[in-house]
Amino acid sequence: MDAQKEKCVMIIDENLPLGVIANTAAIMGITLGKKMPEAVGADVYDRTGNEHLGIIEFPVPILKGNAESIKAIREKLYAPDFLDLTVVDFSDLAQGCKTYDEFMEKMQEVSEMDLHYLGIAICGAKKKINKLTGSMALLR
């Protein structure tokens, strides 16, 4: 990933409880790691020789959104102009399932219009991501 031309952000509903915010970020981050393994740096060693697993090589700002703004951005990302971006969404449906099989079954029964997103992660062309998220504040 070229940090000059590309960017990665997460947008999470700021109204969620802190634990759900943390869980949402963790789940989306793991999925991004799977989709973009080249973004994870090499393992490193401290002065005493202890190994520390590689972490992502660039910042991933977490922006604050709400259910409506996240939904609106997710809908825009289905447009042809944005299909080249890597998108990870996490919904209340996913968060409420106990197994992945249950999640797959329930997703087949629901329309995208009925999903309520807790968060979304977007990686790709910096210009496109800034167009979608440039005015959003950091989640603090």
For residue 64, the domain's CATH number is 3.40.1490.10
Chain length of the chain: 140
Q: What percent of the chain has pLDDT over 70?
A: 99
For 81-116, b where at least 16 C-beta lie within 10 A, e where not — what string? Answer: ebeebbbbbbbebbbebeeeeebeeeeeeeeeeebe
**Per-residue confidence band for 12, with pLDDT thresholds at 50, 70 and 90:** very high
**pLDDT 10s digits, 55-110:** 998 899 999 999 999 999 999 999 999 999 999 999 999 999 999 999 999 999 99
- 56 belongs to a structural domain: yes
**What local confidence, expressed as pLDDT, does residue 119 receive?**
98
The pLDDT value given to residue 10: 98
Instruction: Give the model's pLDDT for residue 2.
Output: 72
Contact of 54 with 42, CB cutoff 8 Å: yes
Domain of 97 in residue numbering reads as: 6-133
